[in-house]
Amino acid sequence: MPHALTVLQLDTDFPRIAGDVGARKTYLGDIEILRIKAATVAKVVTNKPQDIDIAPFEAALHSASGELIVTSCGFLSYWQNHLAARTQKPFISSSLIALDTLAPRYSPEELLILTFDAHNLGDAHLGAHQKYASSILGLPQDCHLRRVISENHAHLDIERAQNENRAR
């Protein structure tokens, strides 16, 4: 029986907690996670998404068994149309693609775009919705969660991460 969902996940070891698209505990049923070798945070979280080596993601689409395919990194939004055209299955690169539906109803002041790295999420990722750049909020450089993700630590102090982000 095919999986309902396939997640194309970056090549990372940091813990993924319930609520994260790449965490099995987020879902009621079993999901397929395809780890994209060499697609690290450092290589994919960039303000130049056209420079990302997209070939491993293209290859993974062909082996995905899920009825729906998603990625674990919103910085791949730049590649939405390119990757969607390479599969017969529904494909979602990022929640940023929802801006097509949300923009006619909400102004930039009414939406908040949460991201790992606000500095690197920009015009190329927003496409036709560049006026929403002012809506982007990222993790502070010095916070525990950001260090765990960017340095690919195997341990996340969940309580510390929660407390740091509540305090901001």
Residue by residue, pLDDT tens for the chain (168 residues) are: 678 999 999 999 999 999 999 999 999 999 999 999 999 999 999 999 999 999 999 999 999 999 999 999 999 999 999 999 999 999 999 999 999 999 999 999 999 999 999 999 999 999 999 999 999 999 999 999 999 999 999 999 999 998 887 765
Q: Among 22, 116, 117, 121, which Cα is nearest to 70's?
A: 22
Distance (Å, whole) CA 27 – CA 35: 18
Q: Which tokens hold the place of 42?
A: 């450092």
Q: Which two tokens stand for residue 141?
A: 């450089």
Task: Please give the Cα distance from 114 to 98 (Å, whole number).
Answer: 13
**Which single residue is written with the structure tokens 């090549």?**
11
The whole-number pLDDT of residue 164 equals: 87
What is the C-alpha to C-alpha distance for residues 162 and 16, in angstroms, rounded to an integer? Answer: 14
| The pLDDT of residue 165 | 73
SS (H, E, C) the chain: CCCCEEEEEECCCCCCCCCCCCCHHHCCCCCEEEEECCCCHHHHCCCCHHHCCCHHHHHHHHHCCCCEEEECCHHHHHHHHHHHCCCCCCEECCHHHHHHHHCCCCCHHHCCEEECCCCCCCHHHHHHHHHHHHHEEECCCCCHHHHHHHCCCCCCCHHHHHHHHHHC
